[in-house]
């Protein structure tokens, strides 16, 4: 008598698990390839994000009958100006106010030293000086060597240049490039691929617009607090906050630290603590209220999904994962929905 095989339910479960393992292995290989080509991967991701941000400028310039190449070039320069303007303003004002800032920094450090020595901490001046020297040595030791730093800087500059060149061509020839790519697909799936890609692009644009709105709210909130407290460089720091808001976690941390540092070296410990409190309040409101609500409405995703996506991206790939987690989730969701709703045959 022929022995009975495994039950049908078990066979289906085993087949599903096998398919899942194959897909996971394929995804792992793709991820490893992307990590191996990290500069190019970052350049491509940055190109898509920048194109979604600045494409309306190029489109409006084309509507004014500017040549496509000139409209694309103007869009690239507009993006460069938007990023470099706060850095230039902060640099110029810092150079002009450097004597005052240096004196404030020295006074602030002396005051902190007096507070530590005169406070409840059981520490002597010699021990405090030894701790400061150990901290300085640790920072010097942990800093990357010259060769490593030069290599990282070279890769970063190369990625930026590649992204800017690709951005120019995307703004100039994006439509024709997509038509060419679509022509490579089989004719029977072109309409579904086109509909899915357009929906994904709309989701990416919605993400960028939501990020711009959140960055504006952050800049207004922190800039207003700096003006009320009376901190110098309030306008450049607000612009820096706006630009830094496009980089989740790290951007807000850097901008907030810069604001607290300027407040400390210019106005002392008290105003620095006030600025720190204002930065924490604004960032907490942005991270737990504005980010989920605005992004959820713009991307048609539940706030819980956005929080989970950002957390997963951060755990998997750090800052880079946090940057791409939300747009990747939104684009994937929209593409999947359109593919499910679009009929197999063109109407």
Q: What is the pLDDT of residues 159-182, one digit of tens each?
A: 888 888 999 999 888 888 888 888
pLDDT of res. 81: 86
pLDDT of res. 105: 67
Q: What is the pLDDT of residues 278-330, one digit of tens each?
A: 888 887 777 777 777 776 666 677 767 777 887 887 777 777 777 788 788 88
**Which letter does DSSP use for residue 2 in this model?**
P
Contact between 178 and 197 (Cβ < 8 Å): yes
Q: What is the pLDDT of residues 225-270, one digit of tens each?
A: 888 988 877 887 888 888 777 766 667 777 888 888 888 877 777 8
Residue 275 has pLDDT above 70, yes or no: yes
Task: Please state which of the ranges 214-218, 292-296, 330-334 shows the lowest mean pLDDT.
Answer: 292-296
- Please report, to the nearest 10 degrees, the dihedral formed by the alpha carbons of residues 207, 212, 213, 214 taken in order: 90
Backbone dihedral angles phi then psi of residue 329, each to the nearest 5 degrees: -65, -45
Residue 345 has pLDDT above 80, yes or no: no
Greatest distance between any 2 Cα atoms in the chain: 97
Q: What is the pLDDT of residues 191-213, one digit of tens each?
A: 888 888 888 888 888 888 888 88
- C-alpha 163/C-alpha 39 separation (Å) is 10
Nearest to 178 by CA among 273, 76, 48: 48
- C-alpha 230/C-alpha 346 separation (Å) is 63
Q: What is the pLDDT of residues 108-158, one digit of tens each?
A: 677 777 777 776 667 777 777 777 777 777 766 665 566 666 666 777 788
Burial of 300 (0-12, 13-18, 19+ CB in 10 A): middle
pLDDT of res. 168: 92
- C-alpha 101/C-alpha 94 separation (Å) is 8
CA atoms within 13 Å, Cβ hemisphere of 117? 12
To the nearest whole number, what is the mean pLDDT of the chain?
79
pLDDT of res. 82: 81
| Selected residue with higher pLDDT from 62 and 92 | 62
- C-alpha 174/C-alpha 196 separation (Å) is 16
Residue 1 has pLDDT above 60, yes or no: no
Q: Helices then strands (H, E): number in the chain?
A: 12, 0
């Amino acid at each position: 008598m022929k022995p009975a095989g495994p039950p049908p339910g078990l066979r289906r479960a085993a087949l599903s698990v096998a398919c899942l393992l194959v897909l996971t292995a394929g995804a792992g290989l793709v991820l490893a390839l992307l990590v191996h080509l990290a500069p190019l991967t970052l350049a491509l991701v940055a190109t898509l994000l920048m194109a979604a941000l600045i494409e309306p400028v190029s489109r409006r310039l084309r509507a004014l009958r500017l040549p496509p190449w000139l409209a694309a070039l103007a869009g690239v320069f507009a993006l460069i100006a938007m990023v470099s303007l706060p850095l230039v303003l902060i640099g110029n004002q810092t150079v002009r106010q450097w004597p005052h800032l240096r004196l404030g920094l020295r006074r602030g450090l002396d005051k902190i030293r007096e507070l530590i020595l005169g406070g409840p901490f059981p520490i002597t001046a010699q021990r405090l000086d030894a701790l400061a020297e150990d901290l300085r040595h640790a920072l010097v030791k942990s800093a990357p060597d010259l060769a490593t730093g030069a290599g990282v800087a070279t890769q970063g500059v190369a990625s930026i240049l590649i992204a800017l060149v690709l951005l120019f061509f995307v703004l100039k020839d994006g439509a024709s490039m997509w038509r060419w790519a679509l022509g490579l697909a089989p004719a029977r799936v072109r309409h579904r691929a086109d509909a899915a890609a357009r929906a994904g692009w709309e989701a990416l644009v919605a993400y960028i617009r939501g990020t711009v709105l959140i960055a504006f709210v952050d800049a207004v909130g922190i800039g207003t607090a700096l003006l009320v407290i009376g901190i110098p460089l309030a306008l450049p720091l607000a612009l820096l906050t706006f630009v830094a808001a496009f980089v989740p976690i790290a951007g807000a941390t850097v901008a907030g630290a810069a604001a607290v540092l300027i407040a400390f070296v210019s106005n002392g410990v008290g105003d620095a603590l006030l600025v720190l409190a204002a930065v924490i309040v604004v960032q907490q409101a942005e991270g737990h209220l504005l980010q989920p609500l605005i992004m959820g409405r713009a991307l048609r995703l539940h706030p819980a999904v956005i929080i989970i996506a950002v957390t997963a991206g951060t755990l998997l790939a750090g800052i880079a994962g946090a940057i791409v987690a939300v747009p990747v989730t939104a684009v994937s969701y929209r593409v999947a929905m359109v593919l499910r709703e679009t009929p197999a045959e063109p109407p």
